[in-house]
Every structure is written in structure tokens, then in C-alpha cells.
């Protein structure tokens, strides 16, 4: 899988061939973070039938955070913890 950030501050997911780095699928927007600026450096982990999307937000500015969201499907929809206030 390949992740990248578009100018619209969305994290996109696309399948790639790991040997050739050829893109095999169209990019799918999967999450835009919790509202912080510059969502970046996404990582996906799978545990117990959940996909967890971990990323940084806020760049190197005051308010930099690390956020996480989860989904039952790798393409989303991803949800952050509803008990956490942005």
C-alpha cells in the first residue's frame, strides 16, 4: 500500500507493486485527520479485525499531535475516538 497527502489535506491510499513501485489502483481518500494542519506520515496497522491509521498533524508548530483512527475496512471510513475533543 502507498499513502500520500494531497493539497486538500486528505490521506490517500493506493495499492502498489512493491518490486516495481508501480501504482496498481486509483487513489482512495481515507481520512483527513482530526482537523489539525498538515496530516502526514500515515501508518496502518491491523489488529483483531480492525485497521488502525496512525498519523501526525500540525507539522513542527505548536500543537503538533499524533492521532489515530480505526476502521473495519482498510479503505475506511476511519473514525477517531468519539470521546476525544478536537
The 10s digit of each residue's pLDDT in 3-50 is: 666 667 788 899 999 999 899 999 888 988 887 777 888 899 999 999
pLDDT at 71: 96
The answer to whether position 86 is within a domain reads: no
The answer to whether position 26 is within a domain reads: yes
CB atoms within 10 A of CB 74: 15
Count of domains for the chain: 1
pLDDT at 10: 84
pLDDT over 80 at 52, yes or no:
yes
pLDDT over 80 at 86, yes or no:
no
pLDDT over 90 at 57, yes or no:
no
Say which DSSP state 24 is in: -
Structural domain including 40 reads 2-71
**Which pLDDT band, with edges at 50, 70 and 90, does 85 fall under?**
low
The answer to whether position 64 is within a domain reads: yes
The answer to whether position 83 is within a domain reads: no
The answer to whether position 80 is within a domain reads: no
The answer to whether position 82 is within a domain reads: no
The answer to whether position 41 is within a domain reads: yes
The answer to whether position 81 is within a domain reads: no
CA angle 74, 75, 79 (to 5 degrees): 85
CA angle 59, 64, 8 (to 5 degrees): 45
Amino acid at each position: 500500500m502507498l499513502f500520500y497527502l494531497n493539497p486538500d489535506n486528505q490521506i490517500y491510499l493506493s495499492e502498489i507493486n512493491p518490486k516495481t513501485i508501480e501504482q496498481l489502483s486509483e487513489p482512495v481518500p481515507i481520512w483527513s485527520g482530526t482537523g489539525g494542519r498538515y496530516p502526514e506520515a500515515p501508518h496502518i496497522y491491523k489488529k483483531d479485525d480492525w485497521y488502525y491509521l496512525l498519523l501526525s498533524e500540525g507539522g513542527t508548530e505548536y500543537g503538533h499531535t499524533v492521532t489515530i483512527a480505526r476502521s473495519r475496512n482498510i479503505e475506511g471510513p476511519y473514525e477517531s475516538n468519539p470521546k476525544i475533543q478536537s
